[in-house]
Amino acid sequence: MAAEWLEESSRGPHWLGFLADASDLLAGTLDPDMVPAIIAQVVVPRLANWCAVYTSANSGPLRLVYLWHADEARIDGLREQLAGMDIDAADTRVTSTIHLPDSQVLAVPLTARGRGLGMMCLGRPDRFPDEVIQFAEDIGRRAALAMDNARLYAQQAAANRALQRSLLPPNEPEVPGLDYGVIYEPAGEANEVGGDFYDLFKAGDDSWRFAIGDVCGTGPEAAAVTGLARHTLRLLAREGYGVAAVLGRLNQAILEEGERARFLTLLHGDITPVPDGLEVRLVSAGHPEALRLKPSGKVEAVTTPQSLLGVFHEVMFEADTIHLDPGDVLLAVTDGVTERRSGGRLLDDDGGLAKLLAECAGLSARAVAERIRRGAADFASEPSADDLAIVVLRAR
């Protein structure tokens, strides 16, 4: 079949179409584990009866990562045969040939950006014509570039996942009299760090702090402001500053970042267990209003809107104080929930979030958080383009 295809293609437009299709397939994935499989599927059976793809990690020995044969029943036997082939003896800089008892093997280096990534080995029972070698080398160059792109993307994605994890609480403390649930879903691609964050931590012997915020934008710049906010909140809270004073100092710290500063909306609160529930002091700096749900199903806003952070130098914040009786729920979300869009409507139009919360009377904090997340997801058919964070505090 490979010979027939070659005879028809080598002097016609089929070769250009083949290369274009191969390039599209290789460029269509950024999964490093998928690229070797695509390579093999592209060349078999057009150029060879079988294909083996080897990769090398950090200039180490070559390792077989994918094997494909036009006759699937022969793959296991071929694998055993290749185990005895000294692939490391092949020249990784130029295309070379290796002889097996029933096959001639064309070993094509996979090199991208001056870095050797592995080897593509093609096998067929007869000699490889010059045209096939040319085609194989061209495919090899494109495949190597796709492998390197996928590798770089995976490395960047892993680094950003680690950065994202570092911006979220390392652990969630036990708070007397409090049942809580949190959900965090970044909406960006794997190589983007989201701008939403939350925190819950012990601030003193008998008090705990919580925060939920949204930094303008995504990526490293937003992550820098998120890190600044989280560390500032924790440090000042443990030094005894009240929630209003903390936000005033954080606002100044963000402004001192100069051109690197980003706008930040933030809801920051102090939780103190009392004999008949929880006492909560909180400040909403440009953030979607916090809502309180009573066991009866009544929902009300409990925060006074105040200036977002990183805009004005001369701004004073004042804390609202609310009481949560046993069974009361406090809900705080980012605009990934309130501004979830379906056509020309937002989820929170006409009090949509309050209506959603009213349906959650009697649920645990975790169940409330999940119900709000599901409601936001179901509000529109398309995936969300914004990060989402939900914090639910319920007095036991």
Q: What pLDDT was estimated at residue 4?
A: 47
Q: Record the pTM.
A: 0.66
Give me the pLDDT at residue 183, please. Answer: 92
Tens of pLDDT, residue by residue over 114-165, are: 888 999 999 999 999 998 899 899 999 999 999 898 888 877 777 666 666 6
Alpha-carbon Rg for the chain, nearest whole angstrom, is: 30
Q: Who contacts 22 (Cβ-Cβ below 8 Å, separation ≥6)?
A: 42, 139, 142
Please state, for a pLDDT cut of 70, what percent of the chain lies above it: 87
| % of the chain surpassing 90 pLDDT | 55
> What structural domains does the chain harbor?
2-163 (3.30.450.40), 167-395 (3.60.40.10)
State which residues of the chain have pLDDT below 50: 1-13, 191
The predicted-structure confidence for 275-293, as pLDDT tens digits, reads as follows 999 999 999 999 999 999 9
**pLDDT at position 46:** 85
pLDDT of residue 58: 73
What's the CA gap between 334 and 131, in Å, rounded?
59
Longest Cα separation, the chain: 88
Closest CA relative to residue 148, chosen from 28, 30, 20, 23: 30
